Amino acid sequence: MHREGLRLVIERLFGYERAALIGLPVERLVPVEARQQHVQKRERYERVGRTRSMSDLDTLAPVRQNGELVPVEISLSPVDTSIGKLTIAIVRDVTRRRALEADLRHASTHDGLTGLFNRTHLESVRSSLEASGQMVGVVLMDIDGLKAVNDTYGHEAGDQLIKRVAVVLRAMSAPEDVPTRLGGDEFALLVPGTDEAGLAAKVELLGDELARHNELHRGRPLSFSLGAALTEQRGGIALAMRVADRRMYEDKRQRRRARGEPDGSVPPPSATPR
């Protein structure tokens, strides 16, 4: 780096003192694993010597003196000076923009209330899982009595029940599972790469985790109706979700009968993604 090209903002951006930056090979600011490639790109640029705007370059992540990476965009312009040809580099810190983009990506695939995946993400995962050809277990859940809680205690109390379902799902889900809030009081869990025994074990684990959760929350107990199904070769996940949906509402009817309530023989609209 040439002394005439240094500015205080560069010192703050990379964490070096001005004296340390002067004469420092630019590759010192490049992550070790990318340095060789950067040398080749720099040498190619020096041969061509044309201006490259930020839109022409990939976003880079130089290394600060303390080892942290900082995402930046850089535009390069060659200039002829009395001491020879130099390159003017305009460096823009895009840390905040990248964080905002990450937040937007997260919001597009996650439910705002629970932090679980949302229906949009489930649809995209569903497509990739079906393309992979592996067996997938589907578990659908519907919170028992959410409407009554909302009507009696208010929607804040209902929201707490919804969040508690998310706690249970996160606690028992494996890294490859897809715990999802479909909307309202409906939830789904996709279990990739399983079989009948594995799906049965997953449902049992869900029940065990629910029991543990209620032991810790001695107030209003959490319960939900559920149905489970495994993908078949022809039907895929969509069919499995319809089967699980029917089983879930049969479970709900049985629970209502056990409580002496009307069994609701006409089920609500299917939870199957559209």
For domain 113-258, give its CATH number from 3.10.310.30, 3.30.70.270, 3.40.50.150, 3.30.70.20.
Answer: 3.30.70.270
Considering the entire predicted model, what is its pTM?
A: 0.70
Distance CA 86, CA 79 (A): 5
Q: Say if CB 13 and CB 91 are below 8 A apart.
A: yes
Give pLDDT, residue 262.
66
- Return the amino acid letter for 212: R
Q: How confident is the model at residue 250 (pLDDT cuts 50, 70, 90)?
A: very high
Q: Calculate ∠ Cα 215-185-153, nearest 5°.
A: 70
Query: Which CATH number applies to 3-97?
Result: 3.30.450.20
Which residue, 126, 122, 156, 149, is CA-closest to 224? 149
Give pLDDT, residue 267.
43
Tell me if 3-97 shares its fold with 113-258.
no
Which residue, 40, 22, 19, 17, is CA-closest to 30? 40
Q: Say if CB 219 and CB 170 are below 8 A apart.
A: no
pLDDT at 141 over 50: yes
Q: What is the pLDDT of residues 8-40, one digit of tens each?
A: 667 778 887 777 777 777 888 888 888 888 888
Beta strand 224-230 with 136-143 is: antiparallel
Residue appearing with tokens 């001491």: 83
Which helix (H) or strand (E) segment holds residue 181: the answer is strand 178-183
Which residue, 114, 101, 103, is CA-closest to 73? 101
Distance CA 92, CA 71 (A): 9
pLDDT at 273 over 60: no
Distance CA 245, CA 227 (A): 6
Distance CA 206, CA 212 (A): 10
For helices 236-258 and 119-132, give the axis angle rounded to 10 degrees.
130
Q: How confident is the model at residue 60 (pLDDT cuts 50, 70, 90)?
A: low
Mean pLDDT, rounded, of the chain? 85
Give the residue extent of every domain in the chain. Answer: 3-97, 113-258
Distance CA 1, CA 163 (A): 54
Q: What is the pLDDT of residues 85-121, one digit of tens each?
A: 888 878 888 889 989 998 999 999 999 999 999 999 9
